[in-house]
Amino acid sequence: MDRVYNFSAGPATLPIEVLQEVGEEWLDFQGLGMSVVEISHRSQAYKALNAEVEARFKSLLGLGDGYRVLFLQGGATTQFGMIPLNFLPDGGSADYVLTGNWSVKAQEDADRIGQTRVAASSAEAFRYIPPASEQSYDPDAAYVHITSNNTIYGTQFHEWPSVGDRPLVADMSSDILCRPIPAEDFALIYAGAQKNIGPAGATIVVIRESWLEKRVDRNLPVMFDYRTHIKKDSAYNTPPVFTIYMINLVLKWIEGLGGLAAMAQRNQKKAATVYEAIDRSGGFYSGYVRPEDRSLMNVTFTLPDDEVTAKFIAEAGKEGLVNLKGYRSLGGIRASIYNAMPQAGVERLADFMDRFASDNG
């Protein structure tokens, strides 16, 4: 069976080279005579793997010894509560920038634990990222939380908020490692693996150790305390070994392409290919978001009506272009073109879009 081009928002497509490497060593990991999913997480082989992937992650982000990288479970959604449990003091408040459903959910969970404040919002329709002129930060905010890329609506921060000395926290689940970022400007970055850097099962948390020293003095359950996982190198309980192993292979693949600068060029070219197809359609396709805030990862657009949209999805599927249906609350089309989507995939999509518009416009 020929492989399709999978535009799913997650779990998402993975590099074919990585999948092939997994197949080659599936039965025998590093000469141990067993699969990576069979080795003990207490073994030296796993400890070495965990140390390797943490070092590789920090290297790609340009971070030094002042940061730790954790591989946790529970999805990015667990971080919605874990962050305020550790860093939102009683009587204090945290600022949240609302740019999509997931940022709203993050704020809602923080509200269950303490007080929050909306520092900026595009909540009327989430068609844009609030510019600096619409952002206002509490001078005493415990931290500022943003969602860097919005999978449902297709917006992305292209200029990072200027928050002064307030700790900046970012959910980067859908654009982690898609481009260089000023990683040292963030006190904490978290991301579910299953969109851009691996299969489902692990959540990456990059945390500044000096901020962790200022955590709230709460008697938390051990699994909700970041210190627990740092002390045990992400192996307090059985970690998601296979996902971590896969992340390591994907990180090596990114390194082999030239790192994050090369990845950004690759992603910009892919995104431009699809957005240009939208823009040259004469209005047959209508982009959902403001052009200057368009995401490199999730391209969203609408067609004239639901019947034409359904036809588009059906005919695209016949050409090996799958999982293009927009999020249920938004409709339309969503093409998720994460790191592993090849240029050939977006070119086939753009060619199909041109032909479909010509035949149905």
Catalytic residues: 102, 171, 195
**Three-state helix/strand/coil letters over the chain:** CCCCEECCCCCCCCCHHHHHHHHHHCCCCCCCCCCCCCCCCCCHHHHHHHHHHHHHHHHHHCCCCCEEEEEECCHHHHHHHHHHHHHCCCCCEEEEEECCHHHHHHHHHHHHHCEEEEEEECCCCCCCCCCHHHCCCCCCCCCEEEECEECCCCEECCCCCCCCCCCEEEECCCCCCCCCCCHHHCCEEEEECCCCCCCCCCEEEEEEHHHHCCCCCCCCCHHHCHHHHHHCCCCCCCCCHHHHHHHHHHHHHHHHHCHHHHHHHHHHHHHHHHHHHHHCCCCCCEECCCHHHECCCEEEEECCCHHHHHHHHHHHHHCCEECCECCCCCCCEEEECCCCCCHHHHHHHHHHHHHHHHHHC
Residues 223, 215: Cα–Cα separation, whole Å: 15
